[in-house]
């Protein structure tokens, strides 16, 4: 259940590399128990922002508090309260899935049961397999398992379902909903807008290093962005009209053009439509491509 308590507070966050500005004055709060989706095209600054909150990257200026602490100064006790699923991880040694999770579980004061977590990420049949012999999607599930093994208060999920097939993604969503029901606060970055819509309570859209909108998922972009569009063809030209009363507008078209206006359709803007209007259509090719930390820093 979301409360008014802020788990994350970000004020005028800025990160520069020489003259290049990666994050430019970003401000937002993350409330206890909510899932906040940070959306944006490749290179927008999402991963840079996340890495600053995790304590992996220092900020240039601004104020940041995560679980009451400055991430640049967070100690081991503070880090034990976080769960982190990075976009990618390094090579692993000759260990099995169960051995890897047992190792990380031993680092936390109140870890989840190892076999319970293995089952939750769908790796029961691979529990005794060497991680280096797993497929890319299976390794990604191990990353998620490591991120949740310590029962984190705050969980960072940076492109968590990259490499998952549709069935695995649905299973992952069920796992996230379980974590939500337990009160885990989650900060999610994803290019899959259906994932954000399914899991997010609120979303922020970042582009060019700036936060251009922040709202509950169903209100992103404002009311005008969700006004239905009536589209039809007339005199060999495709026309469209935004209207709060699409039924009445269609009736007027029928009165003028006859009972079957050509190519008539009524479109209710989806989250993808709203997102594209916010960031610009030039980023359409970025929707299903994972952002790397290097790209985010450019």
List, for residues 225-276, the tens digit of each pLDDT value. 889 999 999 988 999 999 999 999 999 999 999 998 999 999 988 888 889 8
Nearest to 190 by CA among 250, 271, 131, 282: 271
* Strand residue runs (E) in the chain: 6-17, 20-31, 35-39, 61-66, 82-85, 154-158, 185-189, 202-207, 210-216, 229-234, 237-242, 265-267
DSSP annotation string for 49-78: HHHHHHTSS--SEEEEEETTB-GGG--HHH
So what's the pLDDT on residue 90? 61
Mean pLDDT of 128-141: 87
Every domain of the chain and the residues it spans:
6-220+274-296, 228-268
Residue 154 clears pLDDT 80, i.e. is over it? yes
Q: What is the pTM of this model?
A: 0.81
Quick one: 6-220+274-296 is in which CATH superfamily? P-loop containing nucleotide triphosphate hydrolases (3.40.50.300)
Mean pLDDT of 143-155: 93
List, for residues 14-25, the tens digit of each pLDDT value. 999 999 999 999
Strand partners, 38: 189, 204
């Amino acid at each position: 259940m979301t409360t008014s308590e802020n788990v994350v507070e970000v004020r005028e966050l800025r990160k520069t590399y020489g003259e290049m500005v990666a994050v430019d004055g970003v401000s937002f709060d993350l409330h206890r128990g909510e899932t906040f989706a940070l959306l944006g095209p490749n290179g927008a600054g999402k991963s840079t922002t996340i890495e600053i909150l995790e304590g992996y990257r220092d900020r240039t200026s601004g104020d940041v508090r995560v679980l009451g602490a400055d991430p640049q100064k967070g100690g081991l006790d503070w880090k034990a309260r976080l769960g982190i699923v990075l976009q990618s991880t390094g090579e692993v040694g000759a260990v099995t899935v169960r051995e890897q999770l047992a190792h990380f579980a031993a680092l936390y004061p109140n870890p989840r049961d190892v076999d319970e977590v293995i089952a939750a990420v769908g790796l029961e049949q691979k529990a005794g397999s060497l991680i280096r012999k797993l497929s890319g999607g299976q390794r990604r599930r191990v990353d998620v398992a490591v991120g949740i093994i310590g029962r984190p208060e705050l969980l960072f999920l940076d492109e968590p379902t990259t490499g998952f097939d549709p069935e695995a993604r649905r299973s992952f969503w069920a796992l996230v909903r379980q974590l939500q029901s337990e009160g885990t606060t989650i900060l999610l970055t994803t290019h899959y807008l259906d994932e954000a819509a399914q899991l997010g309570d609120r979303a922020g859209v970042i582009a060019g290093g700036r936060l251009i909108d922040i709202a509950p998922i169903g209100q992103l972009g404002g009311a005008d962005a969700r006004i239905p569009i009536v589209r039809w063809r007339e005199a060999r030209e495709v026309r469209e009209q935004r209207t709060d009363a699409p039924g009445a507008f269609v009736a007027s078209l029928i009165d003028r053009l006859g009972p079957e206006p050509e190519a008539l359709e009524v479109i209710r803007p989806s989250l993808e439509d709203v997102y594209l209007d916010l960031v610009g259509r030039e980023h359409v090719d970025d929707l299903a491509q994972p952002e790397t930390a290097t790209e985010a820093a450019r």
